[in-house]
């Protein structure tokens, strides 16, 4: 279950000297306060979305929100809102998501480069994630492992299990789950399978 909602924090309070309270006519008792409202997920702030302003008389305790604020206070409230910024940490969740997105792109590019390198120079122990489609057209994934490598071809054993998980390495890479009968493929065969999307990932374990 995703827990999300909104919250707020006080930003600043400014006195209004020389202005009498519209309710009790007491001078020099009016204050304007600005708050920053923000959204959060699991109580982690994502981004601020609103800066409400509240006016209050400290003498009679009468308070006004922006909608009901007397006319002479509205331009002062607007000016105070414009010069008040949200707290930096109200953006922390959004910044974290942006950094995560950048990290994901960098890691994806690195993985693609590694795959291109590994597929052209196979080594014993390399594990290929293989994508197939079942009779309904649904993607199924399995593994092939390199057990022998020559100048232009490799010997592989196929994993005898399939899963709908696109990253099956942790689930299926068990010696007992591989066939005992190897079969050959050329480097060109591997490259063609990679280009066609039949090999989706290459893991060189230990690196």
Q: Which of 172, 196, 184 is nearest to 147 (CA)?
A: 184
What single-letter DSSP state applies at residue 73? T
User: 147 with 124: CB under 8 angstroms?
Assistant: yes
pTM exceeding the 0.85 threshold for the entire prediction: no
**What confidence tens digit (pLDDT) does each residue in 191-200 have?**
999 999 999 9
Question: Which pLDDT score is estimated for 1?
Answer: 66
Report residues of the chain scoring pLDDT below 50: none
Asked if 141 and 162 touch (Cβ cutoff 8 Å), the reply is yes
């Amino acid at each position: 279950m995703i827990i999300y909602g909104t919250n707020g924090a006080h930003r600043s309070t400014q006195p209004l000297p020389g202005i009498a309270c519209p309710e009790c006519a007491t001078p020099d008792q009016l204050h304007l306060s600005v708050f920053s409202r923000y959204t959060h997920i699991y109580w982690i702030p994502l981004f601020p979305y609103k800066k409400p302003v509240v006016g209050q008389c400290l003498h009679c305790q009468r308070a006004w929100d922006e909608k009901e604020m007397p006319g002479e206070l509205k331009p002062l409230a607007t000016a105070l809102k414009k010069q008040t910024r949200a707290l930096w940490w109200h953006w922390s969740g959004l910044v974290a998501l942006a950094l995560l997105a950048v990290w994901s792109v960098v890691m994806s590019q690195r993985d693609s480069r590694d795959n291109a390198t590994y597929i052209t120079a196979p080594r014993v122990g390399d594990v290929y994630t293989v994508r197939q489609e079942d009779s309904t057209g649904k993607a199924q994934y399995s593994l092939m492992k390199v057990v022998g490598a020559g100048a232009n071809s490799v010997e592989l054993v196929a994993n005898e299990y399939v899963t709908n998980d696109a990253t099956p390495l942790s689930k299926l890479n068990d010696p007992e789950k591989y066939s005992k009968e190897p079969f050959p493929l050329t480097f060109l065969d591997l490259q063609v399978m990679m280009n066609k999307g039949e090999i989706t990932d290459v893991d060189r374990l230990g690196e």
